């Protein structure tokens, strides 16, 4: 049986970038994708605005994915589509991956895994809405699939709950296709989508945005006939007496995305309750040696350019990890004494955790591998609150080791920063705390 | 004085645009494209749009399309009508033109994914 160096699960933007990077770094790579075509969710994201950072162009989702698919195929990377991973077993020399496809149950052996499984939408079951269960309640991504891939219109008059980006994009899309979007309702006092989407998707089409207001009830037996909305107080509790009934045939939910980590959990990979993705080091290796994470499976990104970047980092790292393993096996390198239990036999990781406080929604990576911080770790973070000015500050053992001022920090807009940590004097016993200090 | 949010890139700068005797004065932009955007918004707002065109292929009933460059904002729904009237009857590759010079605006409607 072939033993792959790197097996990538998921053929969306994260997985494609990871597979390409691993292959370019000399690894024997296999990518598994459950759908018929590569590209992941980008296939249905037909709007433009993708790739501004990476390509300096405003591409549509399919175009952005297409560029990576072209490179993927040009490199001759092995790939199985319509293949669904069912189980992964840890073996002493790597992993045994079981999957099903049209040829039956398949098994693959690999040294490393990259989990590029993306994220899922929070559904109606995960937000409290009373009433009947008629047809006409869709997640934004589901409505997007109907319109953009199947050419079917799910709505004539609709209400959108949640101001996440996909909801805003769908408000515009449905309007362009002739539907009436009556309003976007957001339970929080601030919108959760990107500012530019509020402008180009709602303002441009005169679609109202109602903040601190939510949908509390749906009406209808066969098909949705209307919804009830209510204002909420500071604790997001509906305020009695503020009920308003709206006639509509469709309710679209854009109420959040959650990283998909069923496979990671089955491997015992610890997840970060803040990101809901695996706890990772600066190479995006999870706390399980040889298992990497990237893209929206690691944390929900707002720009695909960063999904590709994290895929690339994970792909390069997985290839290097597999190569180190092969070198040990070939006897050309002696395994480090302190890591004999480490099947890969490369020098064990020297991890220190990065502690954050309430000023940050989350920080990725959650820890650094001091043995491998060479070319400057990339950090992604989100501020807990909107700040006109905030200073990203790193304290090492109580001393300020680094500061950078950011303007216009907003929870929906992720920030990125690449840092050379070599000068911070870090050891495994260092106490590293990171927070956003208000003001400049 | 008009408050605008720049939509050119994900930074989304908050702009202030003011009509003065010397032209339109723009502040709040972090790059020159923000100024260009604000001036355009006050004089002749332009947008890009994306949509789908029906195909004759059952396995891909619609194909993703977009305009190859910006169109005047007030022509968005006119262009949408053209996009919705078109049908793709041959295999096409990413970037191929579906409607050339749509409504004489000097902009093409192109497919953004392979149709095959």
Beta strands per DSSP E along A154-193: 157-161, 180-186
Instruction: Give the pLDDT band of residue A267 (cuts 50, 70, 90).
Output: very high
Average pLDDT of span A6-31: 98
CATH 3.10.530.10 domain span(s) along chain B: 50-111
Taking one residue from A and the other from B, the number of pairs with CB-CB distance under 8 angstroms is 81
DSSP string, A232-298: B-TTSPBPTT--EEEE-SEEEE---EEE--HHHHHTTPPBPTTTSSB-B-TT-BBSSTTEEE-GGGT
What is the C-alpha to C-alpha distance for residues A139 and A116, in angstroms, rounded to an integer? Answer: 22
pLDDT of residue A334: 61
pLDDT of residue A335: 53
The structural domains of chain A, with segments of one domain joined by +, span 1-121+256-347, 123-255, 350-440
- Domain A123-255, classified CATH 1.10.10.60, yes or no: no
Report the CATH number of the A350-440 domain. Answer: 2.60.40
What is the C-alpha to C-alpha distance for residues A121 and A124, in angstroms, rounded to an integer? Answer: 10
User: Is the CB of residue A44 less than 8 Å from the CB of residue A148?
Assistant: yes
What is the C-alpha to C-alpha distance for residues B63 and B111, in angstroms, rounded to an integer? Answer: 7
pLDDT of residue A130: 81
Which CATH homologous superfamily contains domain B50-111?
CPE0013-like (3.10.530.10)
List CB contacts (< 8 A) between B64 and chain A.
Answer: 46, 60-62, 148
pLDDT of residue A328: 83
Q: Is the pLDDT of residue A317 over 50?
A: yes
Per CATH, A1-121+256-347 and A123-255 having the same topology is answered: yes
List CB contacts (< 8 A) between A180 and chain B.
Answer: none
What global pTM score does this model have? 0.93
Closest by Cβ to B7, choosing from A148, A150, A200: A200
Closest by Cβ to B5, choosing from A52, A177, A196: A196
Average pLDDT of span A247-256: 95
Residue ranges, chain B, pLDDT below 70: none
What is the C-alpha to C-alpha distance for residues A64 and A311, in angstroms, rounded to an integer? Answer: 15
User: Is the CB of residue A64 less than 8 Å from the CB of residue A71?
Assistant: no
- pLDDT tens digit sequence for A58-80: 999 999 999 999 999 999 999 99
Q: Is the pLDDT of residue A346 over 70?
A: no
Q: Is the pLDDT of residue A4 over 50?
A: yes
- Asked whether the beta carbons of residue A150 and residue B62 sit closer than 8 angstroms, the reply is yes
Q: What mean pLDDT is reported for chain A?
A: 93
Closest by Cβ to A151, choosing from B5, B9, B61: B61
List CB contacts (< 8 A) between A177 and chain B.
Answer: 51, 80, 84
- pLDDT tens digit sequence for A353-401: 999 999 999 999 999 999 988 789 999 999 999 999 999 999 999 999 9
pLDDT of residue A344: 41
pLDDT of residue A326: 85
How close does chain B come to A289, measured CA to CA in Å?
A: 35
What is the C-alpha to C-alpha distance for residues A334 and A331, in angstroms, rounded to an integer? Answer: 7
DSSP string, A355-386: EE-TTEEEEESSEEEGGG-TT--EEEEEESS-
pLDDT of residue A325: 86
Q: Where are the alpha helices (DSSP H) in chain B?
A: 32-43, 76-85
Q: Fold for domain A1-121+256-347?
A: FAD/NAD(P)-binding domain (3.50.50)
pLDDT of residue B11: 79
Beta strands per DSSP E along A38-83: 48-50, 59-60, 78-80
């Amino acid at each position: 049986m072939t033993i792959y160096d790197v097996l990538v699960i998921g053929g969306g933007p994260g997985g494609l970038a990871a597979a390409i990077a691993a292959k370019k770094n000399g690894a024997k790579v296999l990518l598994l994708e459950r759908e018929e075509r590569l590209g992941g969710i980008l296939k249905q994201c037909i709007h433009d605005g993708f790739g501004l950072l990476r390509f300096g162009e405003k591409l549509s989702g399919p175009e952005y994915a297409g560029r990576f698919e072209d490179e993927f195929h040009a490199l001759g990377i092995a790939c199985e589509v319509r293949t669904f991973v069912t189980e992964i077993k840890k073996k002493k020399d790597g992993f045994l991956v079981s999957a099903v496809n049209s040829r039956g149950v398949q098994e693959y052996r690999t040294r490393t895994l990259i989990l590029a499984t993306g994220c899922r939408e929070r559904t109606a079951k995960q937000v409290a809405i009373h009433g009947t269960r008629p047809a006409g309640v869709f997640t934004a991504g589901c409505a997007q699939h109907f319109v953009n891939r199947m050419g079917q219109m799910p709505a004539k008059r609709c209400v959108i709950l949640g101001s996440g980006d996909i909801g805003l994009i769908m408000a515009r899309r449905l309007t362009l296709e002739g539907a009436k979007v009556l309003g976007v309702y957001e339970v929080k006092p601030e919108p959760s989508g990107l500012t530019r989407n509020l402008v180009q998707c709602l303002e441009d089409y005169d679609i109202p945005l109602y903040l601190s207001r939510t949908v509390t009830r749906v009406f209808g037996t066969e098909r949705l006939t209307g919804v009830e909305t209510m204002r909420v107080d500071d604790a997001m509790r509906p305020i009695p007496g503020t009920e308003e009934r709206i006639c509509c045939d469709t309710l679209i939910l854009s109420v959040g995305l959650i990283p998909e980590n069923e496979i990671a959990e089955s491997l015992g990979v610890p997840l970060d309750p803040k990101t809901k993705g695996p706890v990772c080091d600066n190479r995006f290796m999870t706390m399980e040696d040889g298992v990497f994470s990237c893209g929206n499976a690691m944390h929900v990104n707002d720009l695909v350019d960063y999904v590709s970047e994290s895929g690339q980092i994970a792909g390069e790292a997985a290839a290097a990890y597999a190569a180190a393993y092969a070198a040990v096996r070939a006897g050309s390198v002696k395994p480090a004494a302190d890591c004999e239990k480490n099947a890969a036999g490369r020098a064990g990781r020297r991890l220190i955790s990065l502690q954050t406080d309430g000023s940050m929604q989350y920080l990725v990576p959650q820890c650094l591998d001091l043995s491998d911080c060479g070319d400057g770790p990339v950090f992604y973070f989100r501020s807990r609150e909107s700040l006109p000015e905030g200073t990203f500050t790193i304290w090492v053992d109580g001393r300020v080791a680094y500061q950078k001022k950011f303007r216009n920090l907003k929870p929906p807009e992720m920030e990125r920063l690449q840092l050379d940590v070599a000068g911070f004097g870090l050891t495994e016993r260092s106490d590293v705390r990171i927070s956003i200090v208000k003001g400049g | 004085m008009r408050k605008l949010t720049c939509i050119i890139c994900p930074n989304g700068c908050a702009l202030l645009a003011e009509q003065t005797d010397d032209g339109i004065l723009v502040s709040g932009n972090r790059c020159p494209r923000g100024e260009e955007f604000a001036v355009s918004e006050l004089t002749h707002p332009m947008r890009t749009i994306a949509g789908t065109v029906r195909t004759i292929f059952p396995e891909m009933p619609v194909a993703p399309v977009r305009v190859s460059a910006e169109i005047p904002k007030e022509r968005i729904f006119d262009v949408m009508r053209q996009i919705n009237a078109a049908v793709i009857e041959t295999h096409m590759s990413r970037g191929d033109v579906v409607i050339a010079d749509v409504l004489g605006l000097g902009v093409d409607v192109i497919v953004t994914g392979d149709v095959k």
